[in-house]
Structure formats: C-alpha cells, structure tokens
Amino acid sequence: MSEIEAKIEWDDTVLPFQLDKSDIRGRVARLDGLLNTILGQHDYPLEVSAILAEAVVLTALIGQTIKLRWKLSLQIRGDGPIRILATDYYGPKEDGTPARIRAYASFDEDRLKTEAGTPFEKIGKGIFGVIIDQGQDMTPYQGMTPLAGGSLAACASTYFAQSEQLPTDFAVSVGQSSTNDEQDQWRAGGIMVQMMPKASPLASTVEDAQMSDLVSEADADGWTRATMHLQTVEETELVGPYVSPQVLLTRLFHEDRPRVFPIQSVEFGCSCSPEKVRNTMSMYSAKDIEKMTADNGMVTADCQFCGSHYELDPKTLGFDAKA
C-alpha cells in the first residue's frame, strides 16, 4: 500500500475489529476533515479546540456501537473555565452511508487566560455524561460519571466500568500538522478496546465496579496483554496519516489475531433547522418571545454547533410581538 493510499484509508473513518484469541472487540478511529470542519466553524482558543477534538474522537469510537438511527451524545460539564463540551453522533440512516458528528464548546475566556492547568484540568469538577436517544417515544438513556483520571479518555473508561460494567480502555491523540499543501490541519486518532459482555459481572454494585472486578480469571491474561500493548501505541501512529488501521492493529495485537470488519465513514452533520428552532421557541411565553424580538421585528437564534443564524417572524411562532 502506498503512502497516499494509507492516508486516504485513515481519513474520517472508524474501523471495528475483534481480537479472536482474547475475546476483545475494539475500534480504530482516524479523523481529520471532520475535525477541521467542526473547529473551523468556531474561533476557539487552542486548548479548547484540543480538548473538544479529544471528545469528538471518543464520540466516534463510542458512537459506532449504537444501533442504526440512534443518537449518542457526550455532555461534559464542569465548574472550570472550560464549562461545556457537547458532541452528538448520529448513526447511519442506512447501511453504507456515513455517520454524522457535530460538537461545540462553551468557555470563559478571561478565566481561561488566567487559570493554570491542562485543558482537562480547566474543565474543573463536574460530570462526564453519555446520553443515548433510542428513538421516537423512547426514554433517552443517561449515564454519568465524575470528571477524574486526568483525561476524557480515562472518564470514558470509568463510565463503561460503572454504567455498562464492561472493561474498556482508550488511547487517544490529537494534534496539528502542516504539509506543503495544507497549513495547521487538525488530525486525531484513537483506539478503543473492550472486553466482550459477560452474563454477570463480579462486582456487587455499579459503584464498586472496577476493571479488575469485571475481568474473569480466564480472561485476565488476554485483557492485560491487550491493554499493555495498547499503551505502547505512539502518537505519530495515531495521528500521522501514513499508517493504515490494519497495519497498526497488526503491530499492536498480532498475538491475539486481530480480525477487522467493514469500515464506517464519518462526516460533519448538524440537525438544526428552522422548524426545530420554532419547536424550541414554542416552550417560551409570549413575554419571553417579546424580549427576544429584535428591532427589526424578528426573533433571532444561532445554532451552537454549526453557527447557522435564523431569523423568524414571531407570528410563525404563534405570537405577535406587536399585538
């Protein structure tokens, strides 16, 4: 495989795989165009862009497990200068079509400049939440875990241990690179490994569930070997565009006979629309709508995800601001 072919194969894809010898499943994600579309729509500081990019990679890795036409969201909220990281993953509408991801961040610019710490530390104390929309007339599933462990990847591992009771580990890398024909392009990669579900976990309660509790003695050697090999992956192997997913899996897990499945492409996609804005506005009272009405007599709204700007006539919302 040539370098160009390897680069194309990595772009905005999620590759599912299984380690047949160890009863472990996983995914490899490589994102670049998607990240540049998401981050290019906002003028985020570098550290906000970097931590949001990590959230997008985790969303791609986790979201690929949900069923067709479901939506998975990550909601990361803290009391630090980086207040909110929000992502949505929309499953493919039909086989062979891309999944869609969108994301945005909210932050306090003044505090971001004055408070020290890593991007993760600047989220502060808060929660890492996973929300799965199971479709119309279905109650969304919500799972929460505290922000801890030093990275969003560590929070995701804890979420699976506590909420799903599945041993899970991640390696994620995010960065910017430049080539002769492109400048300051975001690139990111990640690998997720997860023990296949068992009939009954060993932990007595969800709160007590730790990785060591959830791996049986028979599976311990395979899980330990897989996670140790995972942690040897180099940032350039994850972020760099010239190592194909299959080659990377062979380098890391050749002892466990990795077997790959059809690759899933991902792209940017936002679900906002004038009709959805109208539905949202219907929750407000006539007095609230009047306060939102601009001097030109229109109600304005902006999508936090894609930046789309909407101007709506209050009459189309069921109200007349001048009445």
Q: Please, are residues 31 and 57 in contact by the beta-carbon 8 Å criterion?
A: yes
Looking at residue 201, what is its pLDDT?
38
Three-state SS string over 258-284 comes to: EEECCCEEEEECCCCCHHHHHHHHCCC
- At 103, list the tokens: 């994301």
CA distance 194 to 201: 14
Helix (H) or strand (E) holding 230: helix 217-230
Q: Please return the burial class of 262, using the count of CB atoms within 10 Å of its CB with bins 0-12, 13-18 and 19+.
A: exposed
Q: Nearest to residue 289, comparing CAs of 304, 280, 279, 299?
A: 299
Where are the strands (E) in the chain, listed by range? 13-19, 24-31, 71-78, 82-90, 99-107, 126-133, 141-146, 168-179, 182-195, 258-260, 264-268, 299-302, 309-312
- pLDDT band for position 128 (cuts 50, 70, 90): very high
Max avg pLDDT among 146-160, 181-195, 218-232, 287-301: 146-160
Average pLDDT of 31-60? 95
Looking at residue 294, what is its pLDDT?
78
258-260 and 82-90: which strand pairing?
unpaired
In a 13 Å sphere around the CA of 128, the CA atoms on its Cβ side amount to 24
Looking at residue 191, what is its pLDDT?
97
- At 306, list the tokens: 């894609």
Domains of the chain: 3-268 (3.55.30.10), 274-317 (no CATH)
- pLDDT band for position 119 (cuts 50, 70, 90): very high
Average pLDDT of 125-131? 96
Q: Percentage of the chain surpassing pLDDT 70?
A: 85
To the nearest 10 degrees (0 to 180), the angle between helices 245-253 and 3-10 is 90
CA distance 75 to 80: 15
Residue that is written with structure tokens 């991801």 in the block: 101
Q: Please, are residues 302 and 308 in contact by the beta-carbon 8 Å criterion?
A: yes
Give 230-238 contacts, CB < 8 A, sequence gap 24+.
230/169, 230/171, 230/191, 230/193, 231/171, 233/171, 233/191, 235/173, 235/175, 237/189, 238/30, 238/171, 238/172, 238/173, 238/188, 238/189, 238/190, 238/191
Average pLDDT of 163-192? 85
Residue at 75: amino acid letter: Q
Average pLDDT of 51-55? 97
Q: Nearest to residue 234, comparing CAs of 175, 185, 149?
A: 175
Looking at residue 215, what is its pLDDT?
58
Average pLDDT of 131-137? 81
Name the more confident of 256 and 198.
256
Looking at residue 222, what is its pLDDT?
87
Looking at residue 207, what is its pLDDT?
38
pLDDT digits (tens, 9 = 90+) for 67-85: 656 899 999 999 999 999 9
Cα→Cα distances 101→80, 91, 297, Å: 25, 9, 34
Looking at residue 155, what is its pLDDT?
97
- pLDDT band for position 46 (cuts 50, 70, 90): very high
Whether 6 shows a pLDDT value over 70: the answer reads no
Model-level pTM? 0.84
- pLDDT band for position 283 (cuts 50, 70, 90): confident
pLDDT digits (tens, 9 = 90+) for 203-241: 333 334 445 455 555 567 889 999 999 999 999 899 877
Mean pLDDT check: name the lowest of 53-57, 97-101, 152-156, 285-289: 285-289
Whether 185 shows a pLDDT value over 80: the answer reads yes
Looking at residue 275, what is its pLDDT?
81
For the chain, the average pLDDT equals 84
Whether 280 shows a pLDDT value over 50: the answer reads yes
Whether 17 shows a pLDDT value over 80: the answer reads yes
- pLDDT band for position 98 (cuts 50, 70, 90): very high
Looking at residue 60, what is its pLDDT?
96
Looking at residue 182, what is its pLDDT?
59
Name the more confident of 32 and 282.
32
